[in-house]
Amino acid sequence: MKRVIHEHVLVCLSSAPSNANTIRAAAKLSQAFGGTMTALYVQTKSSDQMGTEDRRRLQRHTRLAEKLGASVSTVAGDDVAFQIAEYARISKATKIVLGRSVAPKGRLFAPKPLTEQLVELAPYLDIYIIPDSAGKNQRRRNSATKQRILPSIRDVLITIGMLALSTAIGFVFHRLHFTEANTITVYILGVLLTALFTKNYMCSGISALAGVLLFNFFFTEPRLSFRAYASGYPMTFAMMLFSSLLTGTLANRLADHVKRSTQTAWRTQVLLETTQQLGQAENENDILEVIADQLLKLLNRPILVQCKNGAAIRRFPEGEPVEIPPETASQRFSFQSGGEAFGDVLVYGDALEPLESGILHSILGEGGLAIENRRNARQKEEAAVLAKNEQLRANLLRSISHDLRTPLTSISGNAENLLTSGEGMEEADKRKLLTDIYEDAIWLIRLVENLLSITKIGEGNARLNMTTELVDEVITESLRHVHTKTHPIETEFADELLLSQMDARLVSQVIINLVDNAVKYTPEGSKIHISARKQGKEILVRVADHGSGIPDEMKPRVFDMFYTGNGKIADCRRSLGLGLYLCKAIINLHGGEITVTDHTPTGCIFAFTLPVSEVTINE
């Protein structure tokens, strides 16, 4: 089997004007080989001294690389060649594309060009060098960089202060007759402190050279002269200079490493917090709020998040103006996922650092993915609800087609008998047929009312016509619609007025369903007892019967839709299993609860609660 080699092109980012051509060449190379491309920027100590124009140019190059399909990465280190070679090894890059670099002229110990260093460090890689067509601009940029290398006034003052302090301590040591080694150590310590407290790397070198000269001038014989009588002094001066330079260089590298580590740790923490907060966001607006807050924490500059739907989220550091026109933004970033753009982020102020830009793109990528996941989850939920509704309709149609056949056949058959043979029938037979027709029609009416109520509640269209009603009057009115001659019904009401805010029509439907359920599941002649009383801040209504009761294993599911435990219909002999489900839905809409318990010695009790309402009478 032939092994397929996956080509991975690594292109180097820089602020050089010709870097755009290098990126385009790398993109064409990656496309030609059908591989992937990574744009790598190496952040060095000189990156902090980069001018505004160079920063903006670097950002344009970064966006160009992203537009051409590259993934952007940033690493930190002063040895650019080593960082590129190491990243290429870890990422399994097969080709490196970079612009031509020229060794600085006029330097005695000038380093090798970057291309030659990469050839030595990564001989197994194909290295493509793109000619630099902007030599003049590069020379001007190098000239500007030299100007930025000069130390600031603050650094110069710190350097002079450390040298003066070291000299003063040296005089104290000299008066105390300490050895010269102690004084040398003080100057080396001064170089170390200078390197720690200054930002320019030249200060430690200047301090080292000046420390040797001051030691020679003040503390060697003959004093106050740059001459030295002892034969070993030249070697002492050389070792002192070497030790000071080495100490300063190590201190500078350590300070730079600490600074970068702190920045990296902070930005990594911001990115992790962003991921956690995006996971807790409940909607798209919360996601955009998280993006704006985290970008403000990362950049500490005004942020404007513009959404495609027209919404805008603004964040400002403390003390900033509350309104900044969008057209004054210095940089604009788009966040998207799956090819769909969700909005733009406008950043105000100076150009971003490469590492800041990388973290910003990561946050925007996480935000776009979170929005896409939220939309996918919402679509799945809608599909699940739609599937559930379709299943409910299918169950209703199946149950209706099966269970309505019997009463409709009975009604049509009895009506046909009356039409064809009614004149010759006995009066008792006629009355029996009419009674059957009436009972079947009443059952169909109740069924249709239950179906309509369940449909409205299930679709969220149920509108409660809330009024303050007397509970005993609602119960009495409900019993007028219950037609039974086989079960005596008793009522028991409290002496006090029981008032409740309710939809009287729906609560009446609950009482009718519970009483019909008791009639159909209890023997003829058994009593049905209905009571209402106040219980705390609620009104408790109970419907008790003396039937065979409900087994304990069926009670938790007796209010479920279509539940028919043990092969029997739960709430009537010709039912769809909707009556008790509807009762629970109506009572829950009123903020109450419905339960079923055993009735001693036999039977069961259906009880529900309604909130107590007080009526204020104004005289």
The DSSP string of 584-606 is HHHHHHTT--EEEEE-SSSSEEE
What is the average pLDDT across 312-323?
Answer: 73
- Sorting pLDDT into bands at 50, 70 and 90, what band is 573? very low
**Res. 141: pLDDT tops 60:** no
* R_g over Cα of the chain: 44
- The distance of Cα 358 from the centroid of its chain, to the nearest Å, equals 19
**Res. 509: pLDDT tops 70:** yes
Peptide bond into 222 cis (omega under 30): yes
pLDDT tens sequence across 542-564: 999 998 888 888 888 888 876 66
**Res. 104: pLDDT tops 60:** no
Helix (H) or strand (E) holding 470: strand 467-470
Neighbours of 538 (CB within 10 A): 16
CA 478/CA 475 separation, integer angstroms: 5
pLDDT tens sequence across 237-258: 677 777 767 777 777 777 777 6
- The distance of Cα 108 from the centroid of its chain, to the nearest Å, equals 55
pTM, entire model:
0.48
Determine the pLDDT at residue 567.
Answer: 45
Contacts with 88 (C-beta within 8 Å, 6 or more apart), sequence order: 10, 96, 122, 125
Determine the pLDDT at residue 140.
Answer: 44
CA 168/CA 243 separation, integer angstroms: 21
Sort 532 into a burial class: Cβ within 10 Å, 0-12 / 13-18 / 19+: buried
Secondary structure class of 353 (helix, strand, coil): coil
**Res. 596: pLDDT tops 90:** yes
Cα Dmax for the chain: 155
pLDDT tens sequence across 416-472: 888 888 787 888 888 888 888 887 787 777 677 766 766 666 666 667 788 999 999
Which amino acid, residue 215?
F
Class of domain 464-611: alpha beta
Burial track 31-44 (b if 16+ CB lie within 10 A, e otherwise): eebebbbbbbbbbe
- Sorting pLDDT into bands at 50, 70 and 90, what band is 143? very low
* Count of residues in the chain: 619
Secondary structure class of 488 (helix, strand, coil): coil
Determine the pLDDT at residue 107.
Answer: 47
Secondary structure class of 301 (helix, strand, coil): coil
Which amino acid, residue 434?
L
Write down the CATH superfamily of domain 8-149. HUPs (3.40.50.620)
Which parts of 77-207 are beta strand (E)? 95-99, 126-130
- The distance of Cα 546 from the centroid of its chain, to the nearest Å, equals 57
**Res. 306: pLDDT tops 70:** yes
Burial track 383-392 (b if 16+ CB lie within 10 A, e otherwise): eeeeeeeeee
Ordered by start, the domain boundaries in the chain are 8-149, 153-260, 404-454, 464-611
